[in-house]
Amino acid sequence: MKRSLIKVVFVLLVMVFASPQLFGQKAHTSAEEAIRMADQQWLKVFAAGDLEKSVEFCTADGSILAPNQPIATGREAIKQSFSAFFSIPGFKISWQPLRTQVAKSGELGVTSGAYQMTFNDPAGKLVTDRGKYVTVWKKQADGSWKVFLDIFNSDLPPA
Amino acid sequence: MKRSLIKVVFVLLVMVFASPQLFGQKAHTSAEEAIRMADQQWLKVFAAGDLEKSVEFCTADGSILAPNQPIATGREAIKQSFSAFFSIPGFKISWQPLRTQVAKSGELGVTSGAYQMTFNDPAGKLVTDRGKYVTVWKKQADGSWKVFLDIFNSDLPPA
């Protein structure tokens, strides 16, 4: 009887000490899942050329750091930057996060991966580009993730 | 005497409730300062062309996402990437963080800013480039900050 009690106490102690790590791990995993999902939800509206929704994914003080143009900070500047992309004839884009990182505190995170882009040049010829990106996300008061910084560049040699 | 005691208790209560925020703010500010300092210490060794120290600034699983080349992950690949930069004739670089962000948990942070680069093209002509970057930092067990992801691109139109 006494040995059973010791066993029960031991199991309870293990549960008490193990649970914060278990819960921590679970919270961490779901945060990584959430940020990965946000990354792909942003792609969905961006690939559809939905200007309003694409801009709404950015924080009010967010910045887009696109190649061959200055930093676009704030929703109005970001809108202009995205608008220029969406007006490129035959513009198609896709991206996939390869690495995700969320701070233990859960309000700051990063996705990084590969993009593929096709469009038609002024002569109508199909141009294919592929490259990589880093997106820094901030968790909002409503629990959603928004883009604080987004930067990308091509893997291909200069044209 | 009783009023003095009430005052003392009031002051003590204010100190107790205010201190976590004060310390929190201080910790946050010093974390931002630390990451900004790491950003500029990395510049120092990079601008000096110190290959070993430049690579040591990256985590073992860190990635450099330089334009016009694939992602370089891990110290050996990063070494090759940096080595290529350092071998460009007349290569000079500088950068300054414009924005810094550190997670409340203090182990993940971001610096983002502007870079200026000059080098000589194959004909010996001076080429000037300016652009922007995002560096994702991870705090190490020893308290130092190391580069987990670094990505940059040019502000200038394609050559």
Per-residue pLDDT of B88-100, as tens digits, reads 999 999 999 999 9
Answer yes or no: are the C-beta atoms of B65 and A132 closer than 8 Å. Answer: yes
* Rounded Cα distance, B105 and A81, in Å: 33
| Residue B145: inside a domain | yes
Taking the CA atoms of B116, B119, B123 and B125 in sequence, report the sign of the dihedral they define.
positive
Residue range B55-81: average pLDDT?
98
Give yes or no for residue B69 having a pLDDT over 80. Answer: yes
Whole-number pLDDT of residue A45:
98
Residue A89's pLDDT is what? Answer: 96
Banded pLDDT at A27 (limits 50, 70, 90) = low
Q: Would the pLDDT of A19 be above 80?
A: no
In order of A36, A51, A116, A143, B90, the CA distances from A147 in angstroms are 12, 15, 20, 13, 37
Token digits for B37?
A: 């300092």
- Alpha carbon distance A73, B155 (integer Å): 14
Q: Does B110 touch chain A (CB under 8 A)?
A: yes
The answer to the question of residue A93 being in a domain is yes
In a domain, A18, yes or no: yes
Q: What is the mean pLDDT of residues B97-125?
A: 97
Mean pLDDT of chain A: 90
CB A130 within 8 A of CB A115: yes
Residue at token pair 């093209």: B121
Q: What is the pTM of this model?
A: 0.84
Please indicate whether, in this complex, the C-beta atoms of A101 and B108 are within 8 angstroms of each other.
yes
For residue B159, being part of any structural domain is answered with no
- Complex prediction ipTM: 0.84
Is residue A11 predicted with pLDDT exceeding 70? no
Q: Name beta bridge partners: B118.
A: B92, B128
| Residue A6 covered by a domain | yes
pLDDT tens per residue across span A107-141: 999 999 999 999 999 999 999 999 999 999 999 99
- How many Cβ contacts (< 8 angstroms) between chains A and B? 109
Contact residues, chain A, for B69 at CB < 8 Å: 155
Percent of chain A with pLDDT over 90: 81
Establish if B116 belongs to a structural domain. yes
Percent of chain B, pLDDT > 90? Answer: 81
The mean per-residue pLDDT over the stretch A89-113 comes to 98
> Does the residue B7 lie in any domain?
yes
What the block records as the tokens of B119 is: 């080098």
* B81 domain residue, yes or no: yes
Return the bridge partners of B64, or none: B72, B150
Chain A environment of B110 (Cβ under 8 Å): 108, 110, 136, 149
CB A116 within 8 A of CB A130: yes
pLDDT computed for residue A90 by the predictor: 97
pLDDT at position B11 is 62
Domain count, chain B: 1
| CATH number of residue B141's parent domain | 3.10.450.50
Structural domain of A68: 2-154
- pLDDT for A4: 74
